[in-house]
Amino acid sequence: MENHGHNAVPAKRNFLWWCAGVVPELLWLYPTEKAKYEGIGGAVLTTGVLAFFSGFYAIYTTLAAGNYAIPISVVFGVHWGLAIFNLDRYIVSSLRKTTNPGVRWTQRLRETWVPALPRLGLAILIGFTLSKPLELRLFQNAIAGQAAINRDQAVTAKRASLVQSSTLGALDADLAAIDPEIARAEARAQLLEDDFRQEADGTGGSRRYGYSEVARVKEAAAIQARQQVAEVQQRLRQIQSDRDKASAQINQELEVFRRNLSDDFLTKMKALSDLSAGSVAVWWISMFVVFLIVGVEITPVLVKILSPIGPYDVKLDAMNDVETTEALLKRDTTNRIIAHQYANIETAGKAETSITVHQFMSDLRTQILTERREARAR
């Protein structure tokens, strides 16, 4: 009857029990324990599936590129999911609870929770690892906007640094100072030219019409003033040319800097951190996702620890004790037989009787088998 049910069990239940790391032949003896370990196996499977999607998205948004981005991400996601799944399965299957009812609660607490604390810490660490790529996917649009703002701020800061380290500031100061100088030189040249014309046509100055000596002197002064204006304007053009070259160099370096600002995993994590720091709502949602994934990750361990001790646990604990005792007995028996045989060899050597290696091994094998049969009979 029981064997028939065992053969007819759905493959899904067998798979969930395997995920929980149970012994199916032993679990079938206790029907009340089946649902508990199906739940534990489902929790372990859920963490593996979440790990796959987390690993896939993390690689797809960071390292993978080109036509093989999706296959590479899938392969990594599968390996990451299997790694987390096997680790969780090991954690759950290796947890043991004291089944002796005579043990004090302090000792039970020490023997159950203290060994589980490193496993819980590891589960929490895995939960945080799984949650971050899922957070990046959840806040994808907001992160893209914040990343653009961060890039603009980085470019602005880079531009300020380049301007500070270049001659652009000094050239701007020269340009600001040369404009009034040009205006003054232009005004002086215009004044001297008007004075020369008035002197030449007799409407001003000495009021003598014609190209007199005084007119020639004023003409030379006007020409010299106009040359000074041309020199200042030439200096302005040179400063403007130097400034344009410095500005073009800065713009070129900024363009290279902007191209190097890739949209990688670190950039998105920085944007997510800035969003969380600037928005209480984003921080709470981010914490909710983290706690949700961590809760899912530690669920198998907590269920295994907090669940009451059932007949399956008692039977499994007894089987482990029997197997451990049997292994120790075999080891001690073997060591004792080997020591006895070596003593016989030494005695035989002293008595000058010969014994071959073949005879020694045959006698040793026979005695070990005899001891094992006697141990099983007891």
Domain boundary among 281, 307, 333: 307
Please write the tens of the pLDDT for every residue from 149-171.
888 888 888 888 887 877 777 87
Indicate if 215 and 110 belong to the same structural domain. Answer: no
Indicate if 168 and 191 belong to the same structural domain. Answer: yes
Indicate the DSSP class of residue 208: -
Indicate if 22 and 134 belong to the same structural domain. Answer: yes
Other CB atoms within a 10 A radius of the CB of residue 122 amount to: 16
50 lies in some domain: yes
DSSP H or E stretch at residue 361:
helix 357-377
Q: Which residues of the chain have pLDDT under 70?
A: 1-10, 61-66, 97-103, 105, 107-109, 111, 119, 123, 202, 204-211, 321, 332, 340-365, 367-369, 371-378
- Length of the chain (residues): 378
Determine contact, residues 338/364, Cβ cutoff 8 Å.
yes
146 lies in some domain: no
Alpha-carbon span 56 to 53, nearest angstrom:
5
Indicate if 86 and 189 belong to the same structural domain. Answer: no
Indicate if 177 and 235 belong to the same structural domain. Answer: yes
Please write the tens of the pLDDT for every residue from 109-161.
676 777 777 767 876 787 777 777 778 878 888 888 888 888 888 888 888 88
143 lies in some domain: no
Indicate if 112 and 201 belong to the same structural domain. Answer: no
* Domains: count for the chain: 3
Indicate if 238 and 172 belong to the same structural domain. Answer: yes
**What pLDDT score does 175 carry?**
78
286 lies in some domain: no
**What pLDDT score does 345 carry?**
61
248 lies in some domain: yes
Q: Residue 212 is part of which domain span?
A: 161-265
148 lies in some domain: no
Alpha-carbon span 79 to 65, nearest angstrom:
19
Indicate if 68 and 105 belong to the same structural domain. Answer: yes
**What pLDDT score does 371 carry?**
64
Indicate if 27 and 134 belong to the same structural domain. Answer: yes
Q: Residue 282: name the closest of 174, 135, 153, 144 by CA.
A: 135
Indicate if 302 and 330 belong to the same structural domain. Answer: no
Determine contact, residues 165/180, Cβ cutoff 8 Å.
no
Domain boundary among 307, 337, 365: 307
Alpha-carbon span 316 to 17, nearest angstrom:
15
29 lies in some domain: yes
Q: Which amino acid is residue 307, in one-letter code?
A: S
The most distant pair of C-alpha atoms in the chain lies apart, rounded to whole Å, by 158
174 lies in some domain: yes
**What pLDDT score does 78 carry?**
92
Indicate if 23 and 123 belong to the same structural domain. Answer: yes
Indicate if 18 and 125 belong to the same structural domain. Answer: yes
What b-and-e string marks burial along 257-268, b requiring 16 or more CB atoms within 10 Å of the CB? beeeeeeebebb
